[in-house]
Structure 1
Amino acid sequence: DGTVSNFQQASCEGEHRFEVSARENLATYPSSEFGRNAPMPDLTRQAQLREELCQSPTLRYLGGRFDPVGRYSIAPILPPAEAWAAGDRTMLCGVQSTDASGVPLLTTGAAAEQDQAVVAQPGECVFVDDSRSLRLVDCAENHHLETTSIVDLGAVFPEGTPSVEDQDRHLQEACTQAAIDYLDGEENLYQSTLQPYWGTLGQASWIGGSRSVNCSLFHVNADGGFANLNGTARAGREALLIDGQPPAEQPPRNPLREQPVP
């Protein structure tokens, strides 16, 4: 129902679930809506209040660094029901990071100082739904991506916003090597039949404060989309299913020659 309870003030440097950006006194707004005997706003009205009253002050609080598709979302918190009934009309505006169900997650550090990119950790598996939204799942379940690494593009492109083409050029090599390292060798990658995959950051995300992307493993299905994977590629081809089938047998190859030492 949108209510939050058991508030405790915490330092933004430590673990917390909500970072306050502004306080709004709803009592200064029309009494017919927020008067002493008025009910608490429902979820639809809370979403409107977020846009009307929280968006601008929160963007100012963050110094303009906000990735609209990043790890943080702007949210309002109303007083607990008992406090509202007693006349408290203070609404807190702020930012939070939530899971796929909308439950606030523990975060550390002030939001304005954080990389705002949404990334999975190496070894985690990701399902891509029809709306292209990503959610973490157990690797035994149907998934489309197995994460191999996190790449900080800020260290690679310290000046300005990199083009998608520049990101691709760097990530093609970086994510191929990440896949080899993750599977303990190029031969294991070859036998898995999986391919390296990576995301890139758009201009709005970069300007908004995101800097990191994931490298992953995936397989293309017959329709050119993501194949369903089950199991982790780290456990070998015997433990991996691709669209319900073991990885296709790979033809033998000549051993790869070591790179010459300069």
Structure 2
Amino acid sequence: MSKSSSWRSAAAVNWLLIAALITAAFLGSYEYFAPSKENAAESGESAGGSNSTATTAAAVAAFSSAEPGTCLTWDISADSPVSNFQEVTCDKEHRFEVSAREDLSTYPTSEFGPSATRPELNRQDQLRDELCQSSTLTYLKSKWDPSGKFDIASILPPQGAWDEGDRTLLCGLQTTDDKGVPQLSTGNVAAVDQSILASPGQCRVIGEDQVVRTVDCSQPHQLETVSTVNLAEKYPEGYPGSEELDKYLGQTCTAAATEYLGNEENLYQSTLQPFWGSLSEGSWNGGSRSVNCSLVHSNENGFSTITGSAKGGRDALNIDGKAPEERPARDPIREPAR
């Protein structure tokens, strides 16, 4: 058994926890999407110099006409959290794919009657869980990986439309960053790879709040991404089984780590180990096809805390507050006989 596979087996339990954190879906809801600063839609002030009435009317029209399969997008900036809300075709960048429309006026209580105030975020979360989960799974024909990058979310109409009697709740799907901000994506969720992927060179840390964030590699982290692997290219016929995946990823991610650091000796001297994500059959059937290959370091509690990038060599690394351990000299690695 190789050094990397021995380490992976010893840390398997720790990785199951970390994998769950890395791939956990964060369900979202949005209290307000009108294109304005603060309450610009109500005050009549525009968010960026455009015609406020026309812009608001266009946003309300996009919301009111959205049906399952519609994709919606909007602009986000520091001085205008939401603006330019509009419908686009799903092959273009968007932030929300509608899976269902729900009419809260038919809710089996009088909670959302003509004089009702819009529900607060906690109540919206409850409505999303109650009304959007089943309808979204039906819309996707169960082609959804709850451990993937797309979350089930909901949107209510802007305050002005609510005051005029619009009680629509849009259910849909989105992907967010580690702060919960909806990100741009392309394509319909059921047709794209739903895996949560990092880019080569990115370092990732698991915060005390159990949220995985991408940080500068000079900051404390546990993983440094070296590559991503699209398993559908290797296994076009379907899920090959966890043992076969582990074997293939062990070889592939070790080769990727070696290439990332320039040669096998650099990998050895770094004291870091190749690591690869797992992909269950359920996630595969739900629509995920790819995993990250990373570099990590293990200690008795699981993953060590690393600062610095392995790209800078062992002198650039700090592991659990110390320089990497010294490596004994060894014979050069030779290419296997062909």
- Quote the offset at 1:52 in angstroms: 2.2
Query: Of 252, 255, 258, which aligns to 2:332?
Result: 255
Counterpart residue identity of residue 5, structure 1: A
Match of 1:4 in 2: 33
Match of 1:220 in 2: 298
In structure 1, distance between residues paired with 2:142 and 2:307: 41
- SS for the counterpart of 2:252 is helix
Instruction: State how 1:104-119 maps to structure 2 within 5 Å.
Output: 104-119=182-197
Match of 1:196 in 2: 274
Instruction: State how 1:1-262 maps to structure 2 within 5 Å.
Output: 2-6=31-35, 7-30=85-108, 32-129=110-207, 133-221=211-299, 223-260=300-337, 262=338
Counterpart residue identity of residue 33, structure 2: V
TM-score by length of 1: 0.93
Counterpart residue identity of residue 28, structure 1: T
Go from structure 1 to structure 2 and tell me whether the alpha carbon gap of 1:81 and 1:131 turns closer, same or farther (over 3 Å shift). closer
The runs of at least 4 aligned residues of structure 1 exceeding 6 Å deviation read none
Counterpart residue identity of residue 113, structure 1: A
Q: Please give the per-residue CA displacement for 1:200-257, whole angstroms capped at 9, x wherever unaligned.
A: 1122211111111111000012x24111000110111111111121212212221222
Go from structure 1 to structure 2 and tell me whether the alpha carbon gap of 1:155 and 1:131 turns closer, same or farther (over 3 Å shift). farther
- Quote the offset at 1:63 in angstroms: 2.3
- SS for the counterpart of 1:16 is coil
Conservation of the 8 A alpha-carbon contact between 2:232 and 2:238: no
Match of 2:44 in 1: none
Q: Please give the per-residue CA displacement for 1:111-133, whole angstroms capped at 9, x wherever unaligned.
A: 11111111111111111346865
- SS for the counterpart of 1:24 is strand
Q: Please give the per-residue CA displacement for 1:2-34, whole angstroms capped at 9, x wherever unaligned.
A: 322332112211111111112122122246211
Counterpart residue identity of residue 127, structure 2: L
Conservation of the 8 A alpha-carbon contact between 2:218 and 2:308: yes
In structure 1, distance between residues paired with 2:89 and 2:301: 48
% identical equivalent positions: 55
Unaligned runs of 5+ residues in structure 2 are 1-29, 36-84
Q: Is the helix fraction higher in 1 or 2? A: 2
Conservation of the 8 A alpha-carbon contact between 2:258 and 2:267: yes
- Quote the offset at 1:135 in angstroms: 2.2
TM-score by length of 2: 0.73
In structure 1, distance between residues paired with 2:130 and 2:308: 46
In structure 2, distance between residues paired with 1:133 and 1:157: 31
In structure 2, distance between residues paired with 1:67 and 1:18: 17
Unaligned runs of 5+ residues in structure 1 are none
Conservation of the 8 A alpha-carbon contact between 2:152 and 2:173: yes
